[in-house]
Structures are given as C-alpha cells and as structure tokens.
Amino acid sequence: MADYDYDLFVIGAGSGGVRAGRLAAQLGKRVGVAEQSMPGGTCVVRGCVPKKFMVYGADYGAAIKHAEGYGWKADNVRFEWPVLRDAIQNEVNRLSGIYSTILEKNGAVLHRERATLVDAHTVKLQDSGKTFTAETILIAVGGSPWSPDLPGVEHTVVSDDLFHLETLPKRMLIIGGGYIACEFAGVFAGLGSQVIQAYRGGRLLNGFDAEVRDAVGDVQRNNGIELRFNTSPTRVSKTDGGLITTFDDGTKIGADMVLMATGRRPMTDSLGLENAGVTVEENGAIKVDEYSRTTQSNIFAVGDVTNRVNLTPVAIREAVAMIETVYKDNPTAYDHDDIASAVFTRPAVGVCGLSEGEARRRYGDDLTVYTTGFRPMKNILADDPQRCFMKVITKGEEETVIGVHLVGDESGEMIQMIGIAIKAKLTKADFDRTCAVHPTIAEEIVTLKPREINKTTIVT
C-alpha cells in the first residue's frame, strides 16, 4: 500500500467538507482540509446565514409599521444599515471560527489556502506551493454567482457583495427570478430601497409549482417591488447619475445598484480535475454516481459542486453518506427525493415533494389537489393585505400526499414538519385525523378541502 500523507484530503471547508473532515478525523483518519476563503463556506459566510439575518432585519421594519394596528406607537424610527451589516459580519466571523475549531479539535489539519489537483492522489496548495498525497480526496468547493457576459456587467454586483455594502442603494435593480433574486428583492425593499425586479420569464421562481409562482408575484408586489417580466438586459451603462440598464425590449431602467442574480455555477474552473481523471458535466458540475464517487474511484464530490440538490443540509447528508461508504463498509446513497426547502421571501415559501405540473406528468389525472388562500389573523389588525396560500397534492385512491406547497408566514418552519409526513408517505386521511391547533396558520393544513376543478392540467 502506498504511504500517503493523508487518509482523506478535503478541498473546501463548507458545510459538506467540514462534516466529512470531522467524521473521518473522529474515526482516527489522518485528515487534511484546504479552504481558500473563510471556513463555513457559502452558507455561513455569504449565503444562508447572513441572508437570513438580513431578512429578519427587513421583517423588523415591517413589524414596526404593523404594530400601530395593535396600539403601539413608535416615533422617530430610523434604520442604520452599518449597525446591521457589522453585527451580521461579527456573527459570520464567530461561526466561521467555530467551523475551524471543529476541524482542529478533532485532529484535522486546516490549510488556509486554495488547493488544486495534481493527479488522482496529489493536491497542491496555491500560496505555499506545498504538495500532499492522499488515499481519498473529497471535493466540496461549492458554487459561485454567475453573471451574463454583456457590456457593462463589470458595473454590477452579485449576491456575495451585498453583505459588505458601504451604504444602501436608494434605487436597486435586480436581474433574475430565482430564489436569490426574490429573497434579496424582499430584503432591500424592506430596508427602504426602491426595488425593480426584472426577469426573462413570465413568472418568478422557475421550477416551482405554478400557483406558488403566482403567489410569490403577489408577495413581491405587496412588498412594494415593481416586477418586469419577459425582458433581458443587453447593456449596463455607468453615468454621473448612476447606472442605466438597457433591455432587449428597448426599455431602460435607472438605478444606483444593479444586482445580477442570474444563477450560480459549480466552482470547478482551474481545479485541476482533468489531471486526476475527474469528468465534468457540460454545466461545469462534477459527475458523480449515487455514492458521490466521481469517475476517479478514490475521489468523491458533494454539495453544490455536483449540482444535484443545492442545499446546505443536502451537502451535509451527502458527506455523511460518503463517510459511511468509504470508512464504515456501509455503501450509502443519500435519497434526494422529497427534500423540504424554503425560499425566504417575505413571507416565505415552503415546499416539499412534487409540484402539480410534475405530478400530472408522472401520474396523469390520478390526483386530488387541495388548495386554500386566506388572510392570516395577524394581518387583519395590521391592515396588511398579504394572504397565505396552501396546496396539498395527493395521488391514487389512498390519497398519498406527494407534494405540499406553502406561501405565507412561518412556511419554512411548517414545511420541515410536513416533510416528515411526506417522507413517511402519509395520506390525506392521516392529515385529517390530526387535530388542528387553533388559532394558527398551520391548522389549515389539516382542514383542507379539494379544489373545485382538480383535473385542470398545470404543466409549469
């Protein structure tokens, strides 16, 4: 057997990489980890965590306004962006330090620089030039924002930049209709910016249930966001008064800041994958099998770099499965079906299972669809017109629940619990046997009635 420097070398110290590194080290394996940025990865440093704090910040502003309907008066209220920005970064730094400590306390060696592949068993550190050999290599480098190649794109920002702004923009243009675009549109509108969101499609959140997409459009408008559909930018020009973005329909939009929220790509460029015999898909994602093994048998990849289901908890579960497979003689493939997730618009979206379009393509008309829309109790005295939307999709005579879609307050919290029911393949009768908790939003889930026209095909 070859004498390697490490049993496992992990490239990337995000959620998936840190979990794999820690678990392997706890098994007594010699573990090396390389991270070119801050440990914690996208989620902790420039994604889920700081974004959610910004959502909370925007929600507090709305709560102050709504509180008047409940008898609270607040005079001379103002928002100070630097206070929120710096508090978030302090917490990010604290959490990143915890990730470093987790690795080091368990015996893993953390190299704070970029690593690339020299061959199937050798990595090279970019700054120091050091090389290490490893029996097994895990690639967990995640993804990064992608912007279209158009004139003036250098004047725009991406989501990574938003957590470090010196000042808030008075006028903000957001290009994109995915979850990142929708979330930050809600955040900046809530913090006081005038926001326009432009998207090349006809509905926001491509890939989600059609009725959810419509409901999210209403959410954005209720937050004061102006929506422009079926239009794509062709040029961004810098002027003395700010930025002018020209679109393919001839329209122009002026803004102080333009956010390109047009997608993310796996960070596989210049990683040296070709040196190690690791195949990359056309979209840049590393090709893996059900066990997260690449085309090189001793090299694995987890998380966003594989472009399977790009969620932090999924990367963690994939990492755990990889450790089971490699070090515990227990080949484990993580099940990517029926994963509950949330989009933190204001209010949020929660989804688990199939959309109606997906369900009809798979099962035809052998479905029963339950929907409801209502104004939450909290919004009545607050004089807030925002409504909740709920949808449950079942299949067959037994009415097994195969999809639940929520738009409204606490949807992210509710969908976590509902995800358990869907994974357990419970039926609508099981839901109906559950006594409602009153008065709550969640009680509507166990009191739903069938949609009047449930055979309507919705293919989007």
Tens of pLDDT along 187-213?
999 999 999 999 999 999 999 999 999
Identify the pLDDT of residue 453.
Answer: 52
CA distances from 395 to 218, 358, 421, 426 (A): 29, 12, 15, 11
Reduced to 3 states (helix: H, G, I; strand: E, B; else coil), residue 458 is coil
Question: Low-confidence residues of the chain, pLDDT below 70?
Answer: 1, 452-460
Q: Peptide bond preceding 50: is omega within 30 degrees of 0, i.e. cis? A: no
Identify the pLDDT of residue 439.
Answer: 96
CA distance 300 to 433: 44
Identify the pLDDT of residue 460.
Answer: 54
Identify the pLDDT of residue 451.
Answer: 84
**Looking up tokens 């993580």, which residue turns up?**
334
Identify the pLDDT of residue 65.
Answer: 94
* Catalytic member of 111, 164, 405, 438: 438
Q: Cα 261 from chain centroid?
A: 12
Burial class of residue 90 in the structure, from the number of CB atoms within 10 Å of its CB (0-12 exposed, 13-18 middle, 19+ buried) = exposed
Identify the pLDDT of residue 2.
Answer: 72
CA distance 238 to 27: 56
Domains of the chain: 6-144+265-327 (3.50.50.60), 153-262 (3.50.50.60), 341-446 (3.30.390.30)
- Please give the structure tokens belonging to residue 74: 């607040």
CA distance 59 to 72: 16
Identify the pLDDT of residue 234.
Answer: 98
Identify the pLDDT of residue 96.
Answer: 97
Residue 438 known to be catalytic? yes
Identify the pLDDT of residue 434.
Answer: 96
Q: Nearest Cα to 142, choosing from 307, 271, 343? A: 307
Identify the pLDDT of residue 457.
Answer: 45
Average pLDDT, the chain: 96
The pairing of beta strand 109-111 with beta strand 115-119: unpaired
